[in-house]
Amino acid sequence: MIIPREFFERDTLTVARELLGHMIVRRTNRGEARGIIVETEAYLGEKDDAAHSYKGKSERVRVQYGPAGMAYIYLIYGMYNCLNITSGPSGVPEVVLIRALEPISGLELMKERRRTDRVLQLCSGPGKLCMALDIGRDLYGADMCSDGPLFLEFGQPPAETAASKRIGIDYAPLCCEKLWRFTIPGNPYVSAPQRRTGQRRPDPELRTKQNL
DNA sequence: ATGCAGATCGTCT
DNA sequence: GACGATCTGCATC
């Protein structure tokens, strides 16, 4: 079942947290690939100095000022794309950055596009998951609440969620300490910076066998 | 396990 | 003209 627009028309921090456990579906002429969202970050527009829309309107953030549930995609460091979903009331420039997925189907497609067989690292970062799902800026502004090349489906909400500091925004003194990053704690597909404590890699034998 | 350099280009000043 | 909401490989401890 596709997640309806109303889901995204709520408080962005709530949307970011509640997106955990649900599914991203990507369809291309080569087939379908999907993954469970295990890590997100909220960007709160004009009250968040880390947000692209902090200083108001520009061509790049145009879609953030439209309806919720649309794809906001941007190029980072000249070589990777990052996928966000617009959220909050229409016209409020807030988004949820999708930071990591647990791959569920289309693994062969993902491996090829990522040029690696390591399943744990296929989608464990915002740039990686866009590469794995072949998400490019041609999908800028795509409606993610209807059947099409890119949409969301309800999955299984996790038993627990965790909040932590956002990654890579030390240039934003006002908000860099905010706990606006959300993860499914203990999930091995979360991007590196928070896997740390208590986490252990699968045993080496299983790893070579299953490419983990 | 931690750290750093390099790749590379659209967007905004 | 400067700078990233990143990733990878290589160096070092």
pLDDT, one tens digit per residue, over A82-112 is: 999 999 999 999 999 999 999 999 999 999 9
* Closest nt by CA–C1' to A167: C5
pTM (predicted TM-score): 0.94
Residue A27 placed within a domain = yes
Beta carbon of A150 within 7 Å of strand C? Answer: no
Residue A61 lies in a domain: yes
A183: in domain: yes
d(CA A23, CA A38) in angstroms, rounded, equals 9
What pLDDT shows up at residue A195? Answer: 55
Residues contacting strand B at CB < 7 A? A 55, 58-61, 74-75, 77-79, 196
Q: What is the CATH number of the domain that holds A57?
A: 3.10.300.10
Instruction: Find the domain containing A77 and state its range.
Output: 5-187+197-209
Q: Which nucleotide is nearest to A42 (CA to C1')?
A: C5
What's the mean pLDDT when you consider all of chain A? Answer: 93
Distance from residue A191 (CA) to nucleotide C9 (C1'), in Å? 18
Task: Record the tokens describing residue A58, joined without a space.
Answer: 């520009």
DSSP per-residue string spanning A163-178: EEPPSS-TT-TTTTT-
The number of folded domains in chain A is: 1
Rounded to 5 degrees, φ, ψ at A192 are: -45, -50
Instruction: Label the pairing between strands A162-164 and A181-183.
Output: antiparallel
Q: Is residue A43 within 8 Å of A95, Cβ to Cβ?
A: yes
Task: Tell me the CA end-to-end span of chain A in Å, nearest whole number.
Answer: 30
Q: Are A147 and A21 contacting, i.e. CB atoms less than 8 angstroms apart?
A: no
The pLDDT, as a whole number, for residue A208 is 60
pLDDT of res. A192: 73
Q: Is residue A192 part of a domain?
A: no
* Torsion angles phi and psi, residue A129, rounded to 5: -70, -30
- The ranges of chain A with pLDDT < 70 are 193-212
